[in-house]
Structure 1
Amino acid sequence: MKNNNPIRCVLISVYNPYSILKFLNKLYKKDISLLSTESIYDILTNNSINSTNISDYVQFPNIIINNINLLHPRIHAGVAGRRIKDHSDMLYNRVVPIDMICVDLIPFEKLIKSKNIKLREIMKKIDIGNLSLIKSSIINYKEVAIVINNHDNIIKEMNNNNNCITLKTKLELAEKAFVYSVEYEKKILDYLKKYKHII
Structure 2
Amino acid sequence: MKRALFSVSDKTGVAEFARALKDRGWEVIATGGTQQLLERKGIATTGISEVTGFPEICDGRVKTLHPAVHGALLARRDDKEHMGTLCGLGILPIDLVCVNLYPFRQTVAREGVTLAEATEQIDIGGPSMLRSAAKNNVSVTVVCDPADYAEVLEEIAREGDTTPELRLRLAARAYTHTAEYDMAIAAYMRREAGLSEKLFLSFERTQELRYGENPHQRAAFYREADEVPYSLASARQLHGKELSYNNIQDANAALELLREFDDPCCVAVKHMNPCGTALGADAADAWRRAYEADPVSIFGGIVALNRP
Q: Scaled by the length of structure 2, what TM-score is found?
A: 0.59
Q: Hey, what does 2:27 align to over in structure 1?
A: 33
Superposition CA RMSD, Å: 1.8
Q: Hey, what does 1:156 align to over in structure 2?
A: 154
Are the counterparts in 2 of residues 76 and 136 from structure 1 also a CA contact under 8 Å? yes
Q: Does 1:58 align with 2:58?
A: no
Task: Report the identity percentage.
Answer: 26
Q: Which is richer in strand?
A: 2
The structural deviation recorded for 1:77 is 0.3
**Pick aligned residue for 2:133 from 114, 118, 137:** 137
In structure 2, the gaps of 5 or more residues are 196-308
Q: Hey, what does 1:190 align to over in structure 2?
A: 187
The structural deviation recorded for 1:101 is 0.2
**Pick aligned residue for 1:172 from 143, 165, 169:** 169
**Pick aligned residue for 1:101 from 97, 100, 110:** 97
Aligned-partner SS, 1:102: strand
- Provide the C-alpha distance between the structure 1 equivalents of 2:88 and 2:121, rounded to a whole number of angstroms: 34
- Provide the C-alpha distance between the structure 1 equivalents of 2:12 and 2:190, rounded to a whole number of angstroms: 34
Are the counterparts in 2 of residues 37 and 67 from structure 1 also a CA contact under 8 Å? no
Opposite residue 3 of structure 2, the aligned amino acid is C
The structural deviation recorded for 1:54 is 0.1
- Provide the C-alpha distance between the structure 2 equivalents of 1:53 and 1:115, rounded to a whole number of angstroms: 36
Q: Does 1:88 align with 2:99?
A: no
Residue by residue, what CA displacement relative to the aligned partner does 1:88-131 show, whole Å, maximum 9, x if unpaired?
10011111101110011112122214565432342233111110
Q: 1:23 to 1:67 in 2, by over 3 A?
A: farther
In structure 1, the gaps of 5 or more residues are 1-6
- Provide the C-alpha distance between the structure 2 equivalents of 1:175 and 1:112, rounded to a whole number of angstroms: 26
Q: Does 1:110 align with 2:106?
A: yes
Q: Hey, what does 1:4 align to over in structure 2?
A: none
Q: Does 1:46 align with 2:44?
A: no
Q: How many residues align?
A: 191
Larger Cα Rg: Structure 1 or Structure 2?
2
Q: Which is richer in helix?
A: 1
Are the counterparts in 2 of residues 65 and 125 from structure 1 also a CA contact under 8 Å? no
Relative contact order: is structure 1 or structure 2 higher (C-alpha 8 Å, sep ≥ 6)?
Answer: 1
Aligned-partner SS, 1:71: coil
